[in-house]
Structure 1
Amino acid sequence: MTNAGASDARDRDATGRARNARPRDGLGRPLPYGAEGVPRQPEGVLRAPESTVAEAQELLAAGRPFHAHEVFEDAWKSGPEDERTLWRGLAQLAVGLTHAARGNAVGGARLLRRGAGAVEEWQTERGEDRPHGLDLPGLARWARELAGRVEQNGSRPVDARTEAPRLRP
């Protein structure tokens, strides 16, 4: 059953998969059709780990953690099986910062802690502190500290640019 007035037409990509073509702001929130948004990250891009980290760091530094999450998600979904926990955890950190910047304290803190736990789990299992030059101990500390501040400040949004982590020391 559809809502009265709702359209059955959906945005589709070149392969026919449903995609939301609405423009988005820097935090990934949908804007009205026709509004000027920020460029979206292409999905499904295969990148070398070095390129993934560099591109995500640029997006984080620009205050665009939602878009950095999409870069990490590509690595998570297309990378080696033994690195999926690592890339998923990094994507969760970026989404946690996104929620915190949107003023969602509960979701932001939860995802920051979940991401911290994932990168710590990967680090413990593999015994590596700096895969691909990433500062996993520093990222986990950053995420837990920010989660605490986000909870303390409630729904007051954080500035994604000034709160962005440094992925490498």
Structure 2
Amino acid sequence: MSDDQRDRREDGRPEQARPRDRTGRPLPYGTTDVPLAEEHEPSSVEEALRLGVALWNDERFFEAHECLEHVWHAAPEADADFWQGVIQVAVAGVHLQRGNLSGAISLFRRAAERLDPYPDVHRGVDVEQLRVACTGAVAALEDAGAVIEVGFPRFPAMDDGPWFTPDPAALEPPTAPTPIPDEPVWLAAGRAREPRRRDA
């Protein structure tokens, strides 16, 4: 498909208008005979997190990762790897559902690496449970040499969580909703620190 034939949003950016199955695979236009992935448009980062957790627990990992990306994009730099690690566990679930053994193993490994520097409980998430689930899944999948049931965990939330904060020093969630950013906060922060080039 050429660039001028792609589905586009009103602002001209590319958009996938084709229906997708629950694992995110594009389907032919007009498909209605299989469960389809739904579009979710949360109004705040906190709503995106609630939706992501609910979809994860329904084993709708593709949709969960889409919602959780809003959380990752809004995260301060100190939490960016944490939320990306959480998302990578969801994406590993997508690979399992698609029967992609190497993709699942790779994502579980990368998620465990990203989550490793964080404390056992962070932002109301049982990080230790996620790390153990990742390493256990990798071992089971490698041992089997095939996609098998690995006992994918429900979202490992503590009693008070999970919760998001734009303040890396915060010990509790904010009282006001956090708007969904137009671009990743951590990306903008990285650009702001880049030294300016002098004109030659």
Smaller-chain TM-score range? 0.7 to 0.9
Kept in 2, the 8 Å contact 1:23–1:30? The answer is yes
Higher helix share: 1
Any unmatched runs of 5+ in structure 2?
A: 159-200
State the distance in 2 between where 1:91 and 1:105 align: 18
The alignment-based identity, stated in percent, is: 31
Equivalent of 1:130 in 110, 118, 121:
121
For the residue of structure 1 that corresponds to 2:103, the secondary structure is: helix
Structure 2 partner of 1:40: 39
Equivalent of 2:7 in 8, 11, 21:
11
User: After the TM superposition, which segments of 4 or more aligned residues of structure 1 sit over 6 Å from their partners?
Assistant: none
Any unmatched runs of 5+ in structure 1?
A: none
Structure 2 CA distance for partners of 1:157 and 1:41, relative to 1, 3 Å: farther
| Matching of residue 30 in structure 1 with residue 21 in structure 2 | no
Q: Which moved more, 1:138-147 or 1:67-76?
A: 67-76
Query: Scaled by the length of structure 1, what TM-score is found?
Result: 0.80
State the distance in 2 between where 1:32 and 1:132 align: 40
Structure 1 partner of 2:134: 143
How many residue pairs match? The answer is 155
Query: Scaled by the length of structure 2, what TM-score is found?
Result: 0.68
In the TM superposition, what is the alpha-carbon distance from 1:7 to its structure 2 partner? 7.6
| Matching of residue 56 in structure 1 with residue 27 in structure 2 | no
Kept in 1, the 8 Å contact 2:88–2:108? The answer is yes
| Matching of residue 105 in structure 1 with residue 101 in structure 2 | yes
